[in-house]
Structure 1
Amino acid sequence: MPNSRSLPLIQRVLAALGLLLLVAGCTTAMPPPETVLAVPAPQQKYAALVIDARTGKQLFEVNSTAQRYPASLTKMMTLYLLFEALESGRISKETQIPVSDHAASQPPTKMRFRRGETIDVDSAIRAIVVKSANDVAVAVGEYLGGSEEQFAAQMTAKARQLGMTGTVFRNASGLPDDDQHTTARDMAVLGMALRQRFPQHFHYFSESDFMFRGRLVRGHNDMLGRVRGVDGIKTGYIRASGFNIVTSYNADGRQLVVVVMGADSARQRNDHVEALIQRSLSPQMADSKTRLMYADQQ
């Protein structure tokens, strides 16, 4: 569970989101007219949310409680439970995690382990964060949960503890499953919980590459290094979800969590995140980029 210092902020965030939705009648909280983002029809994949992580104030919202597929954002919860196991002393960063047939058989993106090989916990974290390795995520789930199915049940239970009311997990990786779903709101809650509960581990989400067995493994979170202050955390894509991201911004005394789901490309998604950060930091200076992208989906 979140520690005593992090829980009040999470509760404030949930309360603030609930109040805003109640006041708005569960409709979109609209930005100033000059920066209105064209809202897609309900059947579209798009959803977005920007939260001030220090105050819990909602700064931007479109479809934030609508059901969406998480894709590899799922791995944020896999890592949350892995960090919990580290903190409890159940495992260490040197613990070797075995790779089963089931884990090795996962489709890419993956590290291409063979059955019977192992990976240490520290490298597993980096492989999940940087490479979004499906085989490693499944191996972690099996190691901690006994089976991936049992681990997914633990993931869902933890989601409820954190206040993620619209999320059900069915696997550790985010690979397609019709019954696995979440919301932009829930992903924002999880992103904030990871920083608040595990500040000593949050640096992993800032890494864009790592060395493994003498090979440089590169990531694909292009927001890292693109916008000053962005320090993570996770991207995701499957065909059913579109391009998703949860982004953490931390600079000049401001902390934001930005969630964008359902973009048509990684570039479109990243452009939108950048525009939302600019808008949230300086609403009076928001430019036409905040209009972006989704008008053609009307």
Structure 2
Amino acid sequence: MRRKLFAAFAAWTMLVLASLLPAPASAATGLDFGGPYVLVDAQSGDVYAEHDALRPWYPASTTKLMTAFVVFQALKAGEITLDSPVVMSKTAYGQAYASHFFKPGEVLTVDNALKVMLTRSANDMAMAIAESVGNGFDDFILRMNLEARRLGMSRSRFVNPHGLHDTRQVTTARDLALLTRAIMSEFPRYKHYFSIEAIQVKGAVRRNTNLLLGRFRGASGMKTGYICDSGWNIVATARRGGRELIAVVLGARNAVDRAERAAALLEQGFDRGIGLFAGSRGDITKISSGSSYAQAGNMRPVVCGGGKQVAASPEHPQYKAIKGGPILIDTGEGFKPSHIGPRSGKRQVVAVAAGGVDGSGTDELARRVIVANIGVLPRPRPAIIQAVSPQYATAFAPKEAAPEPIVDPASLLVAPPSLLPRPRPQP
């Protein structure tokens, strides 16, 4: 009798929890929810909720998580320090949707470059980092893909460091969760870069693009992303009571929508009892949902197509911001408080500026500044990485032999790009 009562209670609880999860995407378009999502325990890797977590998707600026990860690896290997120089070149400055906080020829420390890139999602700073760390752009992109392979991100490929649209650059919600777990476990000392609420640059205060920081209890990072083709993406982390969760939401309809959907997932994980069933949806490495899709989802018609206004519904929520208060959400029953609360406390602002770099290697630094000012980038040395970490030592045969594929194209299910693209000239 007791066993039957427990089984009935467990079944009822699971039904309640299922009703709290975001509505699934429709079979017809796969986009009514807005795209794939996954909720993962950062420590154990248990999956609490997911939908189409292996579906290829354009990463947009969540790409910068991998850009930062490669920098962290270079710091660990002793190739650079936080005071090493990052030079803003004309090529970097000319990237689309650049921040333009720093002009060509200006030099920042790696420390300040990371703060600018991750807080403001600066495309020009991401390119400057890729050009300045290691042996140049090609070498940096190669490292991004090698790290993806090492971490098991089998359905991801990178061709640029910032996430500007390229049909060859894809990832999945599962892969981004794997990357986030790696950052948290391998480089906990650098987690603070992802939680900076605002930076001050040349007198102007620029807030973080992550709306959860300072508005969602326990929010601790990580990164947002947006291009028309991907929709609005977010990788969000939060910590409460000794547990830290990772929510990845891809293809939301606007900046508030992605934050609200991530907050709803995180809230469920902390407060709705999902932790009682840890592992019931499998380990993060066992996910198969979404693997049948051959092409990345395309949100351009939805978020940039100028579609008609539709009535509020769970699939098409409407939002209203109250100055100094919470964000309200209407899912068809009138506006109510969302999971994104009022700002708690004063926003913490971190100042960043050019200069302050390590004085060693001044000849090389001067050369880089000259190159940045005249707009001619040097051809990097052969992209063979040496003495970085053990997994790189055997990644290539000697004498510049062609590298093995980053992933099996059949597994990726999208057309593989050339391994080492050169940045296109900017108009």
- How does the TM-score come out when normalised to structure 2? 0.58
Q: Quick check: 1:145–1:154 contact (8 Å CA) kept in 2?
A: no
C-alpha separation between the residues in 2 aligned to 1:292 and 1:50?
Answer: 19
Q: Quick check: 2:226–2:233 contact (8 Å CA) kept in 1?
A: yes
Task: Indicate the residue corresponding to 2:127 in structure 1.
Answer: 138
C-alpha separation between the residues in 1 aligned to 2:156 and 2:146?
Answer: 10
C-alpha separation between the residues in 2 aligned to 1:215 and 1:194?
Answer: 30
- Which structure's residues are more often helix, by fraction? 1
C-alpha separation between the residues in 2 aligned to 1:109 and 1:95?
Answer: 22
SS in structure 1 at match of 2:100:
coil
Task: Indicate the residue corresponding to 2:110 in structure 1.
Answer: 121
- Is structure 2 residue 315 aligned with structure 1 residue 293? yes
Amino acid at match of 2:113: A
Task: Indicate the residue corresponding to 1:56 in structure 2.
Answer: 45
Cα offset, 1:107, TM superposition: 1.7
Q: Quick check: 2:64–2:161 contact (8 Å CA) kept in 1?
A: yes
Task: Indicate the residue corresponding to 2:185 in structure 1.
Answer: 196
Please, what is the CA RMSD of the aligned residues? Answer: 2.3
2:211 to 212, 222, 226: 222
Matches within 5 A, 1:196-275: 196-275=185-264
- Is structure 2 residue 162 aligned with structure 1 residue 177? no
C-alpha separation between the residues in 2 aligned to 1:230 and 1:110?
Answer: 25
Larger radius of gyration: 2
Question: After superposition, what is the alpha-carbon deviation per residue over 1:7-36, rounded to whole angstroms, capped at 9, x for unaligned?
Answer: xxxxxxxxxxxxxxxxxxxxxxx9844225
Q: In the comparison of the two structures, how many residue pairs are matched?
A: 263
C-alpha separation between the residues in 2 aligned to 1:266 and 1:31?
Answer: 28
C-alpha separation between the residues in 1 aligned to 2:237 and 2:208?
Answer: 17
Amino acid at match of 2:219: V
SS in structure 2 at match of 1:195:
helix
Q: Quick check: 1:95–1:120 contact (8 Å CA) kept in 2?
A: yes
Q: Assess, with a 3 A threshold, how the Cα gap between structure 1 residues 215 and 91 changes in structure 2: closer, same or farther.
A: farther
Cα offset, 1:145, TM superposition: 4.4
Cα offset, 1:113, TM superposition: 2.9
Matches within 5 A, 1:80-99: 80-99=69-88
Cα offset, 1:38, TM superposition: 2.4
Question: After superposition, what is the alpha-carbon deviation per residue over 1:148-197, rounded to whole angstroms, capped at 9, x for unaligned?
Answer: 34322220111000111110001000011110000000000111111111
Query: Identity of counterpart residues, as a percentage?
Result: 35
Amino acid at match of 2:22: L
C-alpha separation between the residues in 2 aligned to 1:129 and 1:54?
Answer: 23
Amino acid at match of 1:39: P
C-alpha separation between the residues in 2 aligned to 1:139 and 1:64?
Answer: 31
- How does the TM-score come out when normalised to structure 1? 0.82
- Is structure 2 residue 152 aligned with structure 1 residue 163? yes
Amino acid at match of 1:55: S
SS in structure 2 at match of 1:232:
strand
Question: After superposition, what is the alpha-carbon deviation per residue over 1:83-133, rounded to whole angstroms, capped at 9, x for unaligned?
Answer: 111222211122121122211101224234322221111110100111111
Q: Assess, with a 3 A threshold, how the Cα gap between structure 1 residues 218 and 282 changes in structure 2: closer, same or farther.
A: closer
Q: Quick check: 2:210–2:259 contact (8 Å CA) kept in 1?
A: no
